[in-house]
Chain A
Amino acid sequence: QKEVEQNSGPLSVPEGAIASLNCTYSDRGSQSFFWYRQYSGKSPELIMFIYSNGDKEDGRFTAQLNKASQYVSLLIRDSQPSDSATYLCAVSRPTDSWGKLQFGAGTQVVVTP
C-alpha cells in the first residue's frame, strides 16, 4: 500500500463547476497535510495546508480533513481553465524530525471551457 494515494485522473471538470480531489494516507500519526498545484514543466506551488479535522476555506479552495478515516480532500469551486494542473497531496511523516513530506502521485485536473 502506498503511503499517500490519489487518483491519477485526468479529472475532467466543466468550467464553473466544482472539482473534488481525494487523498488517502496510511500513517495515522501524520499531523500536517498539504495540497500543491503543479503546472506542466513547473515546480509545485503550495495552495493549502490543513492540520485539524474539518474544513478550511481559502478563496475558491476548501480543504477537508478526516483523520479518523485517514483522508484529506480538496474542493475547487468555480473551476477555471487556469486551474488545469496536477494537484499533489502531501502528508507529514510523523517519525521524521526534519519535516519531510510524503507526496502522492498527483491528480491531473482538466477544466474544459
Chain B
Amino acid sequence: GAVVSQHPSRVICKSGTSVKIECRSLDFQATTMFWYRQFPKQSLMLMATSNEGSKATYEQGVEKDKFLINHASLTLSTLTVTSAHPEDSSFYICSARVLAGSDEQFFGPGTRLTVL
C-alpha cells in the first residue's frame, strides 16, 4: 500500500516552455500532498503543500505564479513549472500524507527536469 506515482520521470524542455508534472496516489486517497525540489547533493526543499479542493500554500521564497499547483482530486496533484529556465533544472519529488492525523509521507519516484 501507500504507492505514489509521478509522471513523467524525466523531461527535457526548452527555456521558456511550461512543464506539467503529475503526482498520483494509487491505492489511497491523499487529502494532502507535498512538492519538494532537490538540487544535486543537497537536501529536500519543500516548495508547497497541496490540499484537495483548496489553494496550495507555498513556502517562503517559492513563486506561486511560476510553480502552479492544482490538487483537483483526492488522488491527483499537478505541478506546472511555467516559463522554465535552466536554473529550474532539478529533481522534483511529490509526497502524499496517507492519513489525516498521521505525519507519515510516502514519496513518488521523482521527476528529473532539465531545461535547456
Contacts and interface: CB of A to CB of B under 8 A. Distances in A.
Interface of A: 31-32, 34, 36, 42-46, 49, 88, 90, 92, 98-101, 103-106
B103 A92 contact: yes
A104 B107 contact: no
B107 A32 contact: no
B110 A43 contact: yes
Contacts, number: 51
A113 B77 CA distance: 42
Interface of B: 32, 34, 42-44, 46, 49, 51, 57, 93, 97, 102-110
Closest 4 CB pairs of A and B: A32-B103, A43-B110, A105-B43, A43-B107
A90 B103 CA distance: 10
Given A45-B107, A90-B105, 5 more contacts: A34-B104, A43-B110, A92-B103, A99-B105, A101-B103
